[in-house]
Amino acid sequence: MTSAPVQPLLERPDGAEADAADDAGRPGPTAWLRRRRVAKGASDEFGDRGVLSAFDRRRGSVRGSLSLVHTFLFIGLVVAGLGPLLWLAKAAVTPTQDTLSQPFALWPNGIDWANLETAWNDIHIDQYFLNTIWVAAGSWFFQLLIATTAGYALSVLRPKYAPILNALVLATLFIPAVVLLVPLYLTVLHPPLIDVSLLNTYWAVWLPAAANAFNILLVKRFFDSLPREVFEAAKTDGAGPFRVFWSIVLPMSKPVLGVVSVFAVISAWKDFLWPLLVLPDPAVQPLSVRLPAVQSQTELDVFLAALAISTLIPVLLFLMFQRLFLRSAGLGGAVKG
C-alpha cells in the first residue's frame, strides 16, 4: 500500500499509457505478459475480422485489388527488407572492381571467398566481434541484475520509502539521453569514491546501461501482477526474502526477463556514440565503433565482407527468436516515451 499523495505522481506515466491504450481500445501494454494469447495475436494470429467483411472479400473488385495488394506487399517487402541483405551477402564475396562497375551482376569474374577470411583475420573482425559480445553480455547481466533486484524490492518487499524511490526512477524516463552525454562522460573519467578512470574499461558501458528506468518499470509491473498468496505461503514455510526472490519470483517471471534480455542485448549491439566516447582504445572497441574507423583504410570488398559478418549474428538471433523480437517491438512502442 503506498501513501496517497505520492500515488498520482507515480501513476502519471502509467496513466498516460493506459489512456493511450484505452484510446486504441486494447488491453494495457503489459497485458500480454500475463496472457500470452493476446500477445501472439499481435504478430501472427488473425483478429476476428479487419476492415474487410466476409461479404467484401467475396466481391470481385475487392478480390482483384487484394491480390494486387498481396503482390505489392510481397515485392515491396522483399526488395526493401531482404534486398539490402542479399546484396550485402553477394558483395561480400565479390571483387571490388565488379561491385563498383556492375553492382547487380552476379559474379562476372568469379567469387572471391578470400574477402571473408581477410576481414576476419587482417581487419581483426574476430577481436572486435569478441569485444561486442563482451559488451552485450555485460550489459545484459547488469541490466537484469538491477531490474530484478530493484523490481523485487519496490514491488514485493515494498519498504516505506519505496514510493519515493519509484518516483525518482520514473523521473529519469523523462530526461532525454542527450542531457547525460557530457556529465556522464566526466563521471566515467572521474568516478566518485574510487580514484580510477573507467575510460577504456567495459564498466563504462555496462553500468550506465544498467541505470535503465524502463527495465525497472517493466519488471516491477510484472512483479506487481504476480499472486501475493504464493509469496505468503513461501514465507510461512520459512523462506527468507532471498529464497522467495530466487526460487519463486524469478522462475515465475521468464516472459518479462526474456523481453528485458532482448532489449538489453539489442541496444548494446546497436550502441555507437557512447562506446565511441568511453572506449577510445581500438583494442577494446566493439564492431559498431570499429567499422566506421577502419572504413578508410580498407578495400571495399573486404569492408563489405566485414559488414556482412557483423550483420550475421543479429539476423540469426532474429530468425531464431522471431516471436520474442516482434512481441518486444510491439511492447516497446506502447510503453517507451
Partner 1 sequence: MTLTAKPAAARPAPDAEAPPAASARPNRRRTPKTWIRGGGLWNLAFLTPMLIVFGVFSWSPIVQSVVMSFQRTNLVSTPEWVGIDNFVNVLSDPNLGVAIANTLYFAVLALILGFPLPLILAVMMSEVRRGKGLYSALAYLPVVIPPVVAVLLWKVFYNASPDGVFNTILGWFGIPPQPWLQSAATAMPSLVIEATWAAAGGSIIIYLAALISVPPELYDAAEVDGAGIWRKLWHVTLPQLRGVLFIMLILQVIATSQVFLEPFLFTGGGPNNATLTILLLIYRYAFQNSLGGDYGEATALSLMLAIFLGLLSWLYFKLTERWSTN
Of 109-117, 118-126, 250-258, 281-289, the segment contacting partner 1 by CB under 8 A is 281-289
What are the DSSP calls for 84-149, one per residue?
A: HHHHHHHHHTS-HHHHHH-TTSS-TT---THHHHHHHHTS-HHHHHHHHHHHHHHHHHHHHHHHHH
* 108 contributes a contact to partner 1 by CB under 8 A: no
3-state helix, strand, coil in the chain (%, to 5): 75, 0, 25
Phi/psi for 171 (5° steps) reads: -60, -35
| Cβ atoms within 10 Å, residue 38 | 14
Looking at the Cβ atoms of 104 and 227, the one nearer to partner 1 is 104
Q: How many residues interact with partner 1 (rule CB under 8 A)?
A: 130
Binding mask 136-155 for partner 1 (x = CB under 8 A): ------x--xx--xx-xxx-
The one among 192, 195, 227, 229 contacting partner 1 by CB under 8 A: 192
Phi/psi for 31 (5° steps) reads: -60, -35
Distance CA(237)–CA(230), nearest Å, equals 11
Of 107-115, 123-131, 250-258, 265-273, the segment contacting partner 1 by CB under 8 A is 265-273
Looking at the Cβ atoms of 26 and 34, the one nearer to partner 1 is 26
Residue type, 159: P
The one among 111, 168, 233, 320 contacting partner 1 by CB under 8 A: 168
Of 95-103, 106-114, 116-124, 254-262, the segment contacting partner 1 by CB under 8 A is 95-103
Residue 32 beta carbon to partner 1: minimum distance, rounded to whole angstroms:
9
The one among 7, 9, 11, 41 contacting partner 1 by CB under 8 A: 41
Residue 114 beta carbon to partner 1: minimum distance, rounded to whole angstroms:
20
Binding mask 223-262 for partner 1 (x = CB under 8 A): ------------xx-xxxxx--x-----------------
The one among 14, 28, 34, 66 contacting partner 1 by CB under 8 A: 66
What are the DSSP calls for 292-307, one per residue?
A: HHHGGGS-HHHHHHHH
Distance CA(6)–CA(161), nearest Å, equals 11
Distance CA(183)–CA(205), nearest Å, equals 15
Looking at the Cβ atoms of 3 and 121, the one nearer to partner 1 is 3
* 128 contributes a contact to partner 1 by CB under 8 A: no
Q: What angle (nearest 5°) sits at the alpha carbon of residue 263, between those of residues 231 and 166? A: 50
Q: Which of residues 18-37 bind partner 1 (CB under 8 A)?
A: 19-27
Q: Determine the straight-line distance between the first and last CA of the chain, rounded to whole angstroms.
A: 27
